[in-house]
A and B are shown apart, each in its own frame.
Chain A
């Protein structure tokens, strides 16, 4: 059985927008799966359903034998600790230092009082510094997060996610807010870290080149439906074209 198994996942938003029409995706241990699709194809919704930042309407999500969809609030918090999430807009806390932002990754397992007073455990701080070193921001740990460049900020986001000792990384358009060169650096970093630490990754992208270069398998999404699901090496150009061809006839080619 796969590490992450998503089956028949459906989601319709309150405004009537149908985001997912019953999607199946699975991620094997140590596999990098790219969700490829345009804005509005449902890839972000799919990612957010995995840790239930978005509540799915129906379907099942099983991570390492735990049925995420059936969990109550406190068990969900436990489950979320196993999933590191990385965001398009980094979602750092601007006014806190880089180190504090990385340490925020431990909040799920830190006592409430320690969390409130930011009194983190010594070994967590040690690990946070090691991760800062690994992702290349060790010189900036005392700076406020909003003083960093985009690429550096995403590195802080990566370190924060790794701080959780995640079983899987959920990565939502990690490079869309970055210029192409910095974006590739961030993807290189993500790929090498996931290989080193044997962490699988489910990553959404809208760029075919990124999907091809950095994934083991590509899942194509369009209008909330899965249109292909193949090992990256064997994905045909036609399948990829289909996503973009369809797009040119739609109006949904909007902001990202």
Chain B
């Protein structure tokens, strides 16, 4: 039966891990704006910014 003590303690620690993750998410402002990120994800950000760098480099050359 004593295994249960260890298991419950372990499960509680895991749960606390999730609680900390939640607190971090709130503190880092992820709940500040619940709309814009949902739109932003569709913007082809990576591609254009790398092209931008290429573009600038080619101009410098």
Q: Do A and B bind each other?
A: no
Interface residues, chain A, with chain B CB atoms under 8 Å away: none
Q: Could you list which residues of chain B lie within 8 angstroms of chain A, going by C-beta atoms?
A: none
